Structure 1
């Protein structure tokens, strides 16, 4: 049985080790600060106090803190940023502060970074004794403690000017919204330079898995479930199950630790839930932001990505080559600077398929694409999931060479192209006796292809080996449906790619037709390109 990721230790009354009293010291200090509005001593609610004790209490035999990274996944409205500001105070003016220590509050945008900064500033100014001992420079987004030379600074995701930092504390606020990982890498690599440094990730759930937030939260989940043993990571994950009854208020109270203390407003949540029952977009926003359910990219998805992920079993290319199993290939050629893909498909049992893609992208565009999309093109290329072609446009000759190589390796029955961009390549392959065929990407041709692909995925008959780019492409799909109920792939207003999913539908359709599954009719009447 899989262990829950829920932080039961916050409520079970279990003892939190504090051999040197540093957990108690941290709590005592924080309770001496003043609330910015009431000017009364700060009140730590149970869940907040337990988190503070759990971070700062447990120690190694040499006295160093065991926890190096705290991953705080909490729904919106639960004052996680306020808690993070209190932790920043500990490292700026409190008992965890170090001489000339640098505490960093980092976020995707300057306005977001200023939220935690303003919280900390309010704490400093609310207490007369503290206010007299700190220096605030709003123009530099900096609060300093001259007595120690320590300071806190708010920065945003402009990683180009952040190299060389040696922080003792980093708050990565709303990590799910960071457009790329440059700032993360800079700050994360700077933390080990200082003994006793601490990283706090405070975020709500995001969308998609091709981002640094998903990687960090998923790693924390594995620690929480006991799949990874790493006491330096403290997972504090308040998240509902993906298939839960999102209208159940018991679940709301379980994953919103502040609700039992009066925040967020329960009536406000009820109103949002009523609106979510009428509007899909509001429902998905509620599930993501108030129940911390990590969603797929698409708002009108093709399939549930949790079902898609069940097909991540290995695809043994060497075995398929050795057996010379019949193979069908779908090719989605891009414009000159875009992502091109060839997807090979083999029958898997009576009614299943296994596929494997080969993606191509101009080598000079990789970094630029990564910056614009927030997905790791360069890492994918290093891992062999992308074949970079020389220059700043897709080298069709390299694509054609790869197709010839695939034909030499596998028992390829057909290579299906939409002729829109592939006329020359198609003719070249035909002249050499290779089985290239036309498959136009209009409704008449693609609707049955999409339907067969959907049947295979939902029926647990689509094995893809967990290829990360292919998954990203499927996650980006928006579905459009005509009056007859025929489905088509679309990427809506998103700039994200669906090319691999389109080529998969083509390959699966040709495999089904080749095995007598159904016939595909060329769509000569509708050559509208819906599959950018």
Structure 2
């Protein structure tokens, strides 16, 4: 790689100097026991240069001396694949003249580069994400460029076709991309649950940080310290612009430049991560006035959550509970969040109760102990489980006004709008909570033709129970606060 010259940009013509993170990936990817190498990093950090260098080295026999080598560079579209082809051609221009004379470039019908030296028959081929185009091949190297943003159906077909072909010749796969939008995407699973023989290098900051946080920007963009891509000042300026514009501009910046797992489409999110962060405060307001309790009852797999909201001060607290079987660590692995549940438990935001299900009556008693001595103005719950919750309230001996709400477009739409309005007006204040941050990252709203909202999950294994309970509590608190304090007067005539 250091023998090549940079083909384009302000440093064109100067020798390639690998940054430490680039050298680390190449050494890990080309280790003897590595079959799959995965790199996740922010946009503009030299992914194309690494990809092109690996492809060119494989073509002319630097990494592999098998006869009739075949290198596949797969991208979402042909135009995106052309970027790899152009980089390989640019790097090849700095090779010794005798090697350059053995390269044949083809632009139609496919983007190909053939190397006639070393026995001949070696080819680098660019293909789009169509699984059928790779069937029957036997590549020695496959580069899956921007794997985190391929269409799910055709992308999976192409990945399976390439990996099955690599097995015929002990080839290597390189999966290089910015983060996928959620934990369930196949690229995310490559990182979270790598199979044996995989090397994983992920540059992703901790979730829930401000978009302009300098340290986390450098985590996602390590090239900024080495003159690769945008500088830290440029990234901070882009972050300020995205924060000012909000909406899709901000979530896109988080997805591509901060390398976070977040949907690029923010239109249907209940609250964006930054909107929720504006509700977090270092010092909670007091428990003043009455409290409204929102309950979201889960099953054996889902979480059970309670939210406590004081309308007078805007204070919001939330508590989640899982049954003890399986363990929190095993649940985190199954849900694609690694050790996040264990961390929530250590922070006191998540508790464990029961064996395979959370016993409702003892759990409700525990919920009431959290607000012992407070004036409970209302307990609001989903009417879908009205019978079960009513029986549990009786067994627990709880006496308080109960409000039953639906989770469809009628009640749910009103509750979501009231919650949003309260959050935007500064009437929701909570301490920094990993439980709520994680839940809001997964909470989206479906919209019907009349623009009514319904709360749902962004991914199948997402746990939004804490958000559902908070929406119920805050919306009911807003209704109580809006009621007139005047006493009714009666007159007889």
- Which deviates the most, 254-263 or 176-185? 254-263
Please state if 1:275 is matched with 2:250: no
Shift of 1:248: 2.4
Name the structure 2 match of 1:35: 6
What secondary structure does 1:96 align onto?
coil
**Residue of structure 2 equivalent to 1:119:** 87
Distance in 2 (CA, whole Å) between partners of 1:487 and 1:246 is 30
Deviations for 1:282-304, whole angstroms, at most 9, x for unmatched residues? 22222221221111465252378
Instruction: Give 1:207 shift.
Output: 1.1
1:208 counterpart = 2:182: yes
- 1:199 aligned counterpart, secondary structure: strand
Separation of aligned partners in 1, 2:191 and 2:63: 26
Corresponding residue for 1:357? none
Find out whether 1:52 has 2:17 as its counterpart: no
Structure 1 CA distance, aligned partners of 2:18 and 2:360?
59
The residue correspondences of 1:352-367 to structure 2 (distance < 5 A) are: none
- The correspondence for 1:87, drawn from 54, 64, 68, is 54
The SS at the match of 1:243 is: coil
**Aligned partner of residue 78 in structure 1, secondary structure:** coil
Aligned equivalent of 1:73: 40
What is the alpha-carbon distance in structure 2 between the residues aligned to residue 250 and residue 497 of structure 1?
28
Structure 1 gaps of 5+ residues are 1-29, 59-64, 221-227, 317-344, 354-406, 415-437, 463-470, 519-532
- Relative to structure 1, the CA distance from residue 498 to residue 275 in structure 2 (aligned partners, 3 Å threshold; closer, same or farther) is same
Write out aligned runs for 1:127-142 (5 A). Answer: 127=95, 128-139=97-108, 140-142=110-112
- Could you list the per-position Cα deviations for residues 141-182 of structure 1 after superposition, in whole angstroms to 9, with x for gaps in the alignment? 111112242211111111123211111111111111100211
Cα deviation code 1:424-483 (max 9, x no counterpart): xxxxxxxxxxxxxx979554575359989x99xx999x9xxxxxxxx9996543689x9x
Superposition deviation, residue 45 in structure 1? 2.9
Name the residue aligned to 1:217.
Answer: 191
Shift of 1:188: 1.7
Q: 1:145 is matched with which residue?
A: 115
Q: For the Cα contact (< 8 Å) 1:477–1:498, is it kept in 2? A: no
Q: 1:278 to 1:120 in 2, by over 3 A?
A: same
Q: Within the alignment, does 1:158 sit opposite 2:125 as a pair?
A: no
Which residue matches 1:251? 216
Q: Deviations over 1:95-118 (max 9, x none)?
A: 223211111111111111111121
TM normalised by structure 1 equals 0.53
8 Å CA contact 2:251–2:264 kept in 1: the answer is no
The whole-number CA distance in structure 2 between the counterparts of 1:312 and 1:297 is 30
Aligned partners of 1:298 and 1:477 also within 8 Å = no
Return closer, same or farther for 1:312/1:280 CA change in 2, 3 Å cut-off.
farther
- What's the secondary structure of 2:257's corresponding residue? helix
| SS of aligned partner of 1:135 | strand
Match of 1:186 in 2: 161
Q: Would the alpha carbon gap of residues 350 and 296 (structure 1) be closer, same or farther in structure 2, given more than 3 Å must change?
A: farther
- For 2:217 and 2:235, the matched residues in 1 are separated by 9
| Contact 1:298 1:475 survives alignment (8 Å) | no
Q: Is the 8 A contact 1:474 1:500 kept in 2?
A: no
Secondary structure of 1:278 counterpart: helix
How many Å separate the matches in 2 of 1:449 and 1:257? 39
Counterpart in 2 of 1:302? 270
For the 8 Å contact 2:75–2:145, the answer to whether it is kept is yes
Distance 1:439 1:477, change over 3 A: closer
Structure 2 segments unaligned to the other structure (5+ residues):
278-301, 304-318, 326-357, 368-384, 391-404, 478-493
Given the alignment of the two structures, is residue 198 of structure 1 paired with residue 151 of structure 2, yes or no? no
Cα distance in 2, alignment partners of residues 352 and 285 from structure 1:
41
Distance between the aligned counterparts of 1:218 and 1:312, measured in 2? 24
Other-structure match for 1:262? 227
What is the match of residue 336 of structure 1? none
The change in CA–CA distance for 1:170 and 1:499 in structure 2 (over 3 A counts) is closer
Instruction: Give 3-state SS (helix, strand or coil) of 2:137's partner.
Output: coil
Deviation at 1:269, TM superposition (A): 1.5
Runs of 4+ in 1 over 6 A off after TM superposition: 303-312, 411-414, 449-452, 496-501
Please state how far the C-alpha of 1:31 moved relative to its aligned partner: 2.4
- SS of the aligned residue for 2:193 comes to helix
CA separation of 1:162 and 1:51: change in aligned 2, threshold 3 A: closer
Q: Distance in 1 between matches of 2:417 and 2:323?
A: 23
8 Å CA contact retained: 1:71, 1:236: yes
CA separation of 1:235/1:92 partners in 2, compared to 1, >3 Å: closer, same or farther?
A: same
Shift of 1:251: 2.6
Aligned residues: 346
Preserved contact between residue 412 and residue 454 of structure 2 (Cα < 8 Å): no
Cα deviation per residue 1:296-316 (whole Å; 9 max; x = unaligned)? 465252378999989694698
Separation in 2, partners of 1:261, 1:108: 29
C-alpha RMSD over aligned residues: 4.9
